[in-house]
Amino acid sequence: MTRIRLAVAWLSLVAITCSTVWAAEDIKKEVTKVLDEQVAAWNRGSIDEFMRGYEVSESTVFTSGARVVRGWKNMLDRYRSTYGSGDLGKLQFSEIEVTVTSKDAALVLGRWQLQRAEQKSGGVFTLLFRKTRAGWRIVHDHTSTSQ
């Protein structure tokens, strides 16, 4: 009887581990999809579509350099004033690492590069994603620029 209990416990542990791995892989795909959609929106020149990757909330935060912007609307206003409208340039994300921290949170580390006319810029970012009613959304964005 003890062997049967051990076998059942072991099989249960394997099943739980496998379902957790599969769930983590699904979350990574969903988070990566949001990032891909952001890049595509930016490259089409749509800041509004790009912003769909962020949680529409007053608690959403963007930090870069010494500046902290709180709230989705304030972030949208910042992007519009910084980049204007029309041709936003060509955005690329690379070296994306998604770490699933729970069933409703993931941390993303990556690099960004933006080519606009004769100006090229880039750097690294760390994003905190949360599972929301609208799907996976960025709730905290810390972006730095390489000098």
Domain that includes residue 24, residue range: 2-145
**Using one digit for the tens of pLDDT, what is the confidence trace for 51-106?**
999 999 999 999 998 899 999 999 999 999 988 877 899 999 999 999 999 999 99
Among the residue ranges 28-42, 78-92, 126-140, the one predicted with the least confidence is 78-92
8 A C-beta contact, residue 110 and residue 88: no
Percent of the chain surpassing pLDDT 90: 73
CATH of the domain at 121: 3.10.450.50
| Band (12; pLDDT cuts 50, 70, 90) | low
Task: Give the C-alpha distances (Å, rounded to integers) separating 64 from 1, 4, 67, 80, 127.
Answer: 61, 57, 5, 16, 12
* Bridge-based pairing state of the strands 67-70 and 135-145: unpaired
Percent of the chain surpassing pLDDT 70: 84
What is the chain's mean pLDDT, rounded?
88
- Rounded distance between C-alpha atoms, residue 64 and residue 134, angstroms: 26
> Sign of the C-alpha dihedral, residues 64, 108, 138, 83?
positive
Provide the domain count of the chain.
Answer: 1
Phi, psi of 34 (to 5 degrees): -60, -45
Phi, psi of 109 (to 5 degrees): -115, 135
pTM value? 0.83
